[in-house]
Structure 1
Amino acid sequence: MNRTRVLFLAIVGIALLIVIAAAITRNNGGAGPGEATATAAPLPKGTVRVTLASSNTKKVWLDQVVKGFNAARQKTAAGNAIVVEVSHVTSGASLNAILGGTLQPVAWSPGDPSWVEQANTAWAREHGNRPLASQTCPATIFAPLGFAMWRPMAEALGWPDKPIGWDTMVALAADPDGWASRGRPEWGRFTFGHTHPAYANSGLLSMTTFVYGIAGKQDTLTVADVYAPQVKEAMQLLEQNTAKYGREAPAILDLMARQGTSYLHAAAVPEAEAVRFNVERGAELSFPLAFIFPAAGTIWADHPYCVLDNAPWVTPEQAEAAGIFRSYLLAREQQEMAIDSYLRPLDRSIPLHAPLDLAHGTDPRVSSATVPALPSPNADISAAVIDLFKITKRKATIYVAIDVSGSMSGAKIQSARTATAEFLRRLDPEDRVGALIFGDRVTELQDPQRTGDVGEGLSQRVLSLTSGGSTALYEAVCQASRALEDQRRADRAAGDARLYGVILLSDGRDTAGKVTENQMFATCLPANAETDGIKLFSIAFGSDADKEVLGRMASVTGGRLYTADPASISDVYLSISAEQ
């Protein structure tokens, strides 16, 4: 073989390895729904691809398992090598994306069987009574739900030896004396957060365990149990004292890490996330977190694995390959690895060890024998829990500020118009909404009013926006923040407890405003985030946006910075919907 031919074959081999490696690692950073399908690169001949959409909680574990499986080069009966690609998603958003056709994985692993039931029911309704997955979806691991609380506060409640339940959380949240009732007046009023049950697995399961705990049940719930007066009253007390919602549990814990003990005292999250923050971000935390199992029982979320073999985009060989990966996932060696990723193996004979121990914030003595395993909610219970949450949750007052400068022309303004109008239509009728636009100057479209009265008209105005001129960014932030602060003062005087948020969408830097950057931070935004203050959610729209300043705005208010482009702006607005 001559030297030229050897060099040619070597180049071809390296190219093939690069293609395989890119396919294996794509989306491991948390791609949004649909991205894996839209950007998947072709694989070499003789390879079958299994795309897996998996809930975020088991990201670390699954990334390791997928890496090991792909390295083993397992094959289908036809002799084709299997390559698994995993994207990490939220359960609710991935459910909607799969049913809507924008996410088309071969396999799906949400956080709980309740999502599978919803998917199969909805799919069968539209596809001749055929479920999305023809076979039972087996559990993969356990990720129990509970409370993450700053350790000194948890110890003041008696953790880890004294039972602590949802009734404790409700009583503490509703007590005007707050922590003074527990002998710690220096901590002030108790503040709590949880994810939105319509968007997040942790939110749905946490609110379901809440209903179980308040109803005093450990067996199957009924819809009547959910709407029972004592349950509604207790949820009303909790929600009116809940300071933070969200789409993902890690984002709430991240806020606790950044803002410290003065912001949130506890949040409803999976055990895995609380332990992970202690291990991976302990140096940033004011105190370690303690994970509290709800005393009356919790949902031991078991993260089912479904092969979507009835979906038209899944071939029989892909379904076979997904089944082979499922067997690998459930083998003892991979189950033992789960502990290192803060998850509990299905096989209870596997002994727990660090980091699932008291030193890292959780009690390894707890099992389903000591804290009962509550049944997962079916579709009817899920719908009722979400409905009760929406009835009782704190309403929001929101001000949307949209950049309409010349750089927003074309696809940017088109997608911004559509996504903003969709967001406005998702708001509760009892929320309040206002909006302004900014280019050379700031123009108010609507002062904050009841969404049921002005939402549709405002949506129509947004859909007709045009772009042009410079960017009065800082002036727009000040005008929106001052308008909301006026509303907040009036609401406080009237005894109306609301959440307040400014949504700021911009693709550039301040070029035309009458307000300087220093003036804005000094006079329009708080020096420190307040639990019940105005939160600013910045959307950096495109690569030219001033992410540094937009990020600082969000940080000082306890809000969040999002990055978006015309393809992802709708999903960003969906995340902000979960915050409010």
Structure 2
Amino acid sequence: MSAPRTVRRDIPRRTTAALATAAVITLTLAACTGGEATPTPDGSQGFPDDGCTHIAIATSSEKVNMLDELATAFKDSPEHEALDTCATVRPTNVSSGNAARYLTSGEDWPSDDRALWPTLWSPASTVWTDRVSAAASANLVGSPASFTRTPVVFGMPEPMAKALGWPDEPISITDLEGLCQDPDGWGSVGKDIWGAFKISKTNPNTSTTGLSTILMQSYEASGKAEGLTSADVDAAADFSRVFEECVIHYGDTTGNVLSTLYDETQNGANGSAYVSAVALEETSLLNYNKGNPDSHTVQPGETLTPPKTKLVAVYPSGGSMWSDNPVTVLGADWVTAEQRTAGEAFAAFLQTTAAQEILPEYGFRPLDESVPLGDLFTANFGVDPAQPRVTLPKPEVDVISTAIDQWTQVRKPSSVLELIDISGSMDEPIGDGRSRLDGAIQGAQTTLDHFRSTDEVGVWAFTTDVDSPEGEGIQVLRRVTPLGADGEKLDSSLDDLRYAQRNGTPLYDAVLTAYEAMSERAEPGRINAIVVLSDGEDTDSSTSLDSLIAKIGKSTKEGGTDAPVRIFPIAYGSGADTSALQRIADATGGQMFDASDAERIDLVFASVINNF
């Protein structure tokens, strides 16, 4: 591979450091979540020493499994045979939105392993290639061509969908908005025990599904099925604001929410107190019903267990947008002539019947209509191959930008308490010239810009031999209040942690104290959350883990509170008690994040805050 240059000459350098940081989050975390190819003994992370041209394809997570098989089939194809040199293709997991942000930044690809710098890009939608083309360079994204598609739907536990008349009665986004707005929630359809109607959506800045959903909301509010304008989006603001009010929290992918729902289902609950509907792609719903809720790469010999309660696809009667899954050879200057030729051959192979026949096995609809969908696309797996009956076209780039900007204003408000471990072990170095505490402070500081002035933000630290009005072991840096114009002041307060005394680790006591305080002030209509960062095991609590779980898990039970407090632990460094932190997250319907590579804490912290 030729040596990469620092800047591509055809792309203006106009994005901020914060934008570039956001762009690398998904790529960096993929190694922690199994999204990238398995490393080989020679350390090339998926590429064997085979003498072939190596082609990395940056792709959204739900296509990694499928592209692995397509890469294998490519080796036996006429397209491969026509090459002068053999080619080996490997997918690497990068969210569509983050890849788009990175590609507009003009920087090198954010990976130390240059073998993983992509020749090909396959985001979930041409929405993202259009945005890069408009914001940076049309040459950079080449000539994107879709090779498969999947509609955006609302996945609902089957009993809930039936309570709304599914499958006989059409269900619209307006119907779902009505359930969000009705103070009786599920009680309005005779299901009082299910409590409030709750929706899970992903962040449209990083997720195709999240972006498609806000556009579908604008289509619904306008009464249009085509020709959506920026004015239509502006006029839909109040409609979308109501719809956002019943969102449980935002995230980078639907996989984490689906995993929590799956666990609830397998443990005997139907998950109704956690979430009522999930905006997702049809292929993710099919994976869930197969027993792969996070759409991970299925290993040889792995057995998948279907959920006890399947999700069914609700295709909104007003129409669905489709993820059209393009593939394109990037015009980046790190792509060699050999890689370009091999990448074009692989892209051409994806259009062939041999490749199209593989797609339905992974829950994707082929573009070649002569290819049968097979047994997966049936009611047994919760889908209807005849749906959606109305296809909503992709709007112009300026309309999409208007929708993303509007979401920033109408998204559900948040109330977040950051709870930071400052025990003695936080003084340990993390290998990049910083201590663990330095990394935690900088991680918290770099995410402050994510919050709006109206969002509530608080910061507590915990260790032994300190106390405050909130309780023993707690040091309050900032009470949970609206951020306002206090970002700079909070930044300075976080710096003060460098000089705090650092002793033992009363993790469970601190979590319980924080949970009780947040529960007292939690309100419906906003995301109430605690971010817990700890680098070790509990050593000094009077509360046991089992007692803590019993006390914090009440709000996720069926008919639980309408203002749940969810906990998002960060397991910081190799010594963190990941088992305990995972149980804490599961008990509240939150999510644990892995920062075992402590040098990456800045990026992990940003990924956590992206949920709010």
What SS class does the counterpart of residue 148 from structure 2 fall into?
coil
In the alignment, what sits opposite 2:400? 382
Note if contact 1:275-1:291 (Cα within 8 Å) is conserved in structure 2: no
In the alignment, what sits opposite 1:353? 374
Instruction: Give the partner amino acid of 1:322.
Output: G
Instruction: Give the partner amino acid of 1:390.
Output: T
- Matches of 1:276 and 1:435 in 2, distance apart? 38
- Matches of 2:552 and 2:166 in 1, distance apart? 41
Q: Does residue 433 of structure 1 match 2:457?
A: yes
- Matches of 1:52 and 1:119 in 2, distance apart? 17
Instruction: Give the partner amino acid of 1:540.
Output: A
Indicate how the Cα distance of structure 1 residues 420 and 266 shifts in structure 2: closer, same or farther if over 3 A, else same.
same
Note if contact 1:164-1:292 (Cα within 8 Å) is conserved in structure 2: yes
Q: Does residue 132 of structure 1 match 2:153?
A: no
Residue 88 (structure 2) aligned to one of 75, 83, 91: 83
- Matches of 2:551 and 2:387 in 1, distance apart? 50
Residue 29 (structure 1) aligned to one of 12, 30, 34: 34
Matches within 5 A, 1:81-230: 81-100=86-105, 101-103=108-110, 104-124=117-137, 131-134=139-142, 136-228=143-235
- Matches of 1:550 and 1:336 in 2, distance apart? 42
In the alignment, what sits opposite 2:276? 265
**What is the TM-score of this pair, normalised by structure 2?**
0.81
In the alignment, what sits opposite 1:408? 426
Provide, for residues 486-537 of structure 1, a one-character-per-residue CA deviation record: whole Å limited to 9, x for no partner.
Answer: 322xxx4xxx622111101111011234544345334566474556311000
- Matches of 1:173 and 1:26 in 2, distance apart? 37
Measured after TM superposition, the shift of residue 182 of structure 1 is 2.9
Indicate how the Cα distance of structure 1 residues 219 and 556 shifts in structure 2: closer, same or farther if over 3 A, else same.
same
What SS class does the counterpart of residue 394 from structure 1 fall into?
coil
In the alignment, what sits opposite 1:456? 488
- Matches of 1:573 and 1:26 in 2, distance apart? 16
In the alignment, what sits opposite 2:338? 317
What SS class does the counterpart of residue 438 from structure 1 fall into?
strand
In the alignment, what sits opposite 1:505? 533
**What is the TM-score of this pair, normalised by structure 1?**
0.85
Provide, for residues 412-443 of structure 1, a one-character-per-residue CA deviation record: whole Å limited to 9, x for no partner.
Answer: 22322222111222112111111112233431
Note if contact 2:350-2:356 (Cα within 8 Å) is conserved in structure 1: yes
Instruction: Give the partner amino acid of 1:225.
Output: D
Indicate how the Cα distance of structure 1 residues 501 and 184 shifts in structure 2: closer, same or farther if over 3 A, else same.
closer
- Matches of 1:359 and 1:504 in 2, distance apart? 40
Q: Please identify, of 144-153 and 508-517, the stretch whose mean Cα deviation from structure 2 is larger.
A: 508-517
- Matches of 1:187 and 1:427 in 2, distance apart? 31
Note if contact 1:137-1:305 (Cα within 8 Å) is conserved in structure 2: yes
Instruction: Give the partner amino acid of 2:516.
Output: R
Note if contact 2:74-2:80 (Cα within 8 Å) is conserved in structure 1: no
Instruction: Give the partner amino acid of 2:134.
Output: T
In the alignment, what sits opposite 1:12? none
What SS class does the counterpart of residue 560 from structure 1 fall into?
coil
Q: Please identify, of 380-389 and 43-52, the stretch whose mean Cα deviation from structure 2 is larger.
A: 43-52
In the alignment, what sits opposite 1:469? 503
Provide, for residues 439-463 of structure 1, a one-character-per-residue CA deviation record: whole Å limited to 9, x for no partner.
Answer: 3343111111111233322123324
Instruction: Give the partner amino acid of 1:271.
Output: E
In the alignment, what sits opposite 2:387? 366
Note if contact 2:274-2:556 (Cα within 8 Å) is conserved in structure 1: no
Structure 1 residues not aligned, in runs of 5+: 1-24, 33-37, 125-129
Indicate how the Cα distance of structure 1 residues 364 and 434 shifts in structure 2: closer, same or farther if over 3 A, else same.
same
Corresponding residue pairs, total:
533
Indicate how the Cα distance of structure 1 residues 71 and 40 shifts in structure 2: closer, same or farther if over 3 A, else same.
farther
Provide, for residues 83-114 of structure 1, a one-character-per-residue CA deviation record: whole Å limited to 9, x for no partner.
Answer: 11111222112222344434441111111111
In the alignment, what sits opposite 2:512? 478
Structure 2 residues not aligned, in runs of 5+: 1-29, 38-42, 111-116, 265-270, 293-303, 431-435, 465-472
- Matches of 1:575 and 1:279 in 2, distance apart? 28
Provide, for residues 221-244 of structure 1, a one-character-per-residue CA deviation record: whole Å limited to 9, x for no partner.
Answer: 11111011xx22221221112223
In the alignment, what sits opposite 1:420? 444
Note if contact 1:27-1:85 (Cα within 8 Å) is conserved in structure 2: no
The RMSD of aligned alpha carbons is 2.7
Note if contact 1:31-1:87 (Cα within 8 Å) is conserved in structure 2: yes
Measured after TM superposition, the shift of residue 284 of structure 1 is 6.0
Note if contact 2:36-2:91 (Cα within 8 Å) is conserved in structure 1: no
Indicate how the Cα distance of structure 1 residues 486 and 423 shifts in structure 2: closer, same or farther if over 3 A, else same.
same
In the alignment, what sits opposite 2:244? 239
In the alignment, what sits opposite 1:536? 567
Measured after TM superposition, the shift of residue 73 of structure 1 is 10
Residue 313 (structure 2) aligned to one of 274, 279, 291: 291
Indicate how the Cα distance of structure 1 residues 460 and 39 shifts in structure 2: closer, same or farther if over 3 A, else same.
farther
Indicate how the Cα distance of structure 1 residues 533 and 284 shifts in structure 2: closer, same or farther if over 3 A, else same.
farther
Q: Does residue 521 of structure 1 match 2:545?
A: no
Indicate how the Cα distance of structure 1 residues 71 and 548 shifts in structure 2: closer, same or farther if over 3 A, else same.
farther
What SS class does the counterpart of residue 358 from structure 2 fall into?
helix
Indicate how the Cα distance of structure 1 residues 341 and 45 shifts in structure 2: closer, same or farther if over 3 A, else same.
closer
Give percent identity, aligned residues only.
29
Provide, for residues 201-233 of structure 1, a one-character-per-residue CA deviation record: whole Å limited to 9, x for no partner.
Answer: 1100111111112211122211111011xx222
Instruction: Give the partner amino acid of 1:506.
Output: S
What SS class does the counterpart of residue 176 from structure 1 fall into?
coil
Q: Does residue 329 of structure 1 match 2:347?
A: no
What SS class does the counterpart of residue 504 from structure 1 fall into?
strand
Note if contact 1:27-1:87 (Cα within 8 Å) is conserved in structure 2: no
Indicate how the Cα distance of structure 1 residues 298 and 51 shifts in structure 2: closer, same or farther if over 3 A, else same.
same
- Matches of 2:554 and 2:412 in 1, distance apart? 22
- Matches of 1:334 and 1:539 in 2, distance apart? 40
In the alignment, what sits opposite 2:288? 277
The structure richer in helix per residue is 1
Indicate how the Cα distance of structure 1 residues 102 and 224 shifts in structure 2: closer, same or farther if over 3 A, else same.
same
